[in-house]
Structure 1
Amino acid sequence: MRENNNRPMDRAMAAVFCAILLVAVVIILLVAGHLMSKNAKHKDSGKAAENTQIEESSETIGMETQETEVTETLAQEETETEEPFIATPIPNVESLDTTSYGWGQGVQFDEYNRPISAVQYQETYGKYNANFIGENRPVIYLTFDEGYEYGCTERILDTLKEKGVHAVFFVTQPYAEDNPQLVQRMIDEGHTVGNHSVTHPSKGLPSQTMEQQQQEVMGCHQYVLDHFGYTMHLFRYPTGAFSEQSLAIVNNCNYKSVFWSFAYLDYDVNNQPDQTQSLQKLVDRMHPGAIYLLHAESETNTAILGSFIDQAKAAGYSLEAFD
């Protein structure tokens, strides 16, 4: 009887034990699942962080590559800009026409206000690296001839510096000898120094032999190179007189010839033109690619230069040094 009475109790205890065991198994499974999920998230976070680092590193490398490419491009452009002018030699110079021509821009103009003769001469003689007018775009080239110093050049340089404009100064050898501080200032302030011959022959370059013409160019060239360490490559003909042969001689000296598409009677120091009228003349004759010839000994030019620059800029022109 006692044995039979204990069996229901044993079954109840067994049932309770099984239930406890089942709950324990469920808890263990839940805890294990949570830990696995947490580890997976941690791994995913680690991979995401690793991917982010890789992406950031790639972006950094990309930016460095772009910066390197930009630096190399700028360096290449700077090198290209600094390359010296090299003229193509013209053969058989001795056989070319020696007829001397005087140059003046004339009084007939096209629809762009350009002197027609300057455009025609450019088409005819441009093959010799001769320049009577620039490209048909809104730019004006300021050039100053320097044969003698009358105390104006320093003030002209002051005005150009104030206005942020560069110009070309064509110097004779005696001018460079007598005014080294002014020539050095031209160079230091970014202007172009051009060659205006050794002696400025009154009858022009074509009046001389081929050897003399070459010496007129290369004598001044060598003096400026020796005393200023500066290599000139632009030449202006004394009196504007030239021949086909002289154009070839100057070209073969590795020079460009620069004439002009505007000039006026400004060089007589004892008979200077009216400043108001002169300024209006300079403004009225503005045209694309204009090469202005101004004499640096002119008090009138010195006085009106700043106003002309302002009006030219207001009219949409840039002012540059011919290169």
Structure 2
Amino acid sequence: MTKDQLPPRLLTRRRALLAGAAAVGAAGTAGLFTTFAGDEPVRRATTPSPSPAPVAGPQARTAHKPSSYRLEPLMGYGPPRAAPRRTPVRRAPMLQVSGRGRRMVLTFDDGPDARYTPHMLDTLREYDIRAMFFVCGEMVAENPDLVARMADEGHVVGNHTWSHPLLTRLRRREIREEMERTSDIIEESCGERPAWFRAPYGAWNRAAFQIGAELGMDPLAWTVDTLDWTTPGTRTIVDRVENGAAPGVVVLSHDAGGDRSQSVQALRFYLPRLLDSGYHLTVPVRHYV
């Protein structure tokens, strides 16, 4: 009996079986290539299987070869990543912080020093206060564990150059080396590159601002200088902080670079007093222009 002699009902059933087999084969083939875990496609590594024997009936249309353009929508899912913001090149360092209320920032320079920094960290932790530490690279090399502790306890670690030179007397290449080398060792110590920098002696120049911005850092100076490096006495340091306290003030002290025992004692006195006076001691938030 020829195809033309088959009863119409048998012919229809045969076509339905062939169409169903083709659909199952296509679905199985698609399942070999892509499955989903969460929101991301996961491509399986599969061993090529032999091509199935041709099926009787009309041949399927040859599929187009995939191209990079056709596959592009499958490369990833989710919103596109935004380009990183470029840090603006400033002409002057920031001197104070903005925000509502009686906000102040405590900053400490030149460390970390194993003799004094741990005591300051202990006092800050006792009152659950976050501060900023502008560290020197050569000091970080000697005390990387202290930098890790700063970051772990929520403090901001800033760049204060490698060897505390006067930047205005250095060539551009030397300034970059001082700053970039310090950012590198900070990242090695706490896993994150600094977002803030401070020029030693407060000596800024155009090159320092430009290089700092290229390294992704904003410049921060200070509003109140305790001059604790002159060892004027604990009482004098406390008075300078309390008399200069005001919304937005940035206080400069030191945790290294000499005998800082007075600075350690002063922090224990003025910190609770500032809190009792209603000041909120915090760290700044970066703003882009």
**What's the TM-score, normalizing by structure 1?**
0.57
Distance 1:169 1:264, change over 3 A: same
Instruction: Give 1:174's aligned residue.
Output: 138
1:123 matched to which residue of 2? Answer: none
Cα distance in 2 between the residues matched to 1:88 and 1:275: 38
2:126 alignment partner in structure 1 = 162
In 2, are the aligned partners of 1:192 and 1:321 still within 8 Å (CA)?
yes
Residue by residue over 1:246-269, the C-alpha shift from the partner in whole angstroms, topping out at 9 and shown as x without a partner, is: 22221222101111001132124x
Partner of 1:132: 95
Shift of 1:218: 0.9
Contact preservation (8 Å) 1:274, 1:300 = yes
AA aligned opposite 2:94: N
Would you say 1:280 and 2:239 are equivalent positions?
yes
CA–CA separation in structure 2 for the residues paired with 1:191 and 1:205? 26
Amino acid at match of 1:292: V
Q: How does 1:74-223 map to 2 (within 5 A)?
A: 86-88=85-87, 90=89, 127-128=90-91, 130-135=93-98, 137=100, 138-147=102-111, 149=113, 151-201=115-165, 204-223=166-185
Name the SS of the counterpart of 2:229 in structure 1: coil
Question: Who is 1:241 aligned against?
Answer: 203
User: 1:217: Cα distance to partner?
Assistant: 1.1
CA displacement 1:252-297 (0-9 Å, x = unmatched)? 22101111001132124xxx22222321221011111111110013
Instruction: Please show how residues 12-27 of structure 1 align to structure 2 within 5 Å.
Output: none
SS of the aligned residue for 1:276 comes to helix
Paired residue for 1:314, among 252, 267, 276?
A: 276
Contact 1:163 1:306 in 2 (8 A): no
* CA–CA separation in structure 1 for the residues paired with 2:189 and 2:127: 29
> How many residues are aligned here?
200
**CA contact under 8 A between 1:128 and 1:248: conserved in structure 2?**
no
1:136-175 deviation per Cα after TM superposition (whole angstroms, max 9, x unaligned): 7411101101246261111100000000100111111111
Give secondary structure in 2 for the equivalent of 1:220: helix
With over 3 angstroms needed to count, the CA separation of the structure-2 counterparts of 1:218 and 1:206, relative to structure 1, is same
Give the one of 248, 255, 268 matched to 1:296.
255
SS of residue in 1 equivalent to 2:224 = coil
Q: Measure the CA separation in 2 of the matches of 1:263 and 1:255.
A: 22
CA distance in 2, matches of 1:88, 1:281: 33
Residue 311 (structure 1) shift: 1.6
- Provide the rounded CA distance (Å) in 2 between the counterparts of 1:136 and 1:89: 20
Runs of 5+ consecutive residues of structure 2 not aligned to the other structure:
1-81
CA separation of 1:146/1:283 partners in 2, compared to 1, >3 Å: closer, same or farther? Answer: same
Alpha-carbon distance in structure 1 between the residues aligned to 2:85 and 2:194: 12
**Letter of the structure 2 residue corresponding to residue 146 of structure 1:** D
Q: Which residue of 2 aligns with 1:260?
A: 222
Name the CA shift for 1:226/1:139 in 2 (closer, same or farther; >3 Å): same
Cα root mean square deviation, aligned: 2.3
Amino acid at match of 2:196: L
Q: 174-183 or 227-236, which moves further after superposition?
A: 227-236
- The residue type paired with residue 198 of structure 2 is R
Q: Bigger shift: 227-236 or 289-298?
A: 227-236
Relative to its length, the structure with more helix (as a share) is: 1
TM-score by length of 2: 0.64
Q: Which is higher, the Rg of structure 1 or of structure 2?
A: 1
CA–CA distance in structure 1, aligned partners of residues 121 and 173 of structure 2: 35
Cα deviation, 1:101-156, whole Å, max 9, x if unaligned, reads: xxxxxxxxxxxxxxxxxxxxxxxxxx457311222741110110124626111110
Contact kept, 8 Å, 2:168 with 2:204, in 1: the verdict is yes
Q: Contact 1:128 / 1:251 at 8 angstroms: preserved in 2?
A: no
Structure 1 segments unaligned to the other structure (5+ residues): 1-82, 91-126
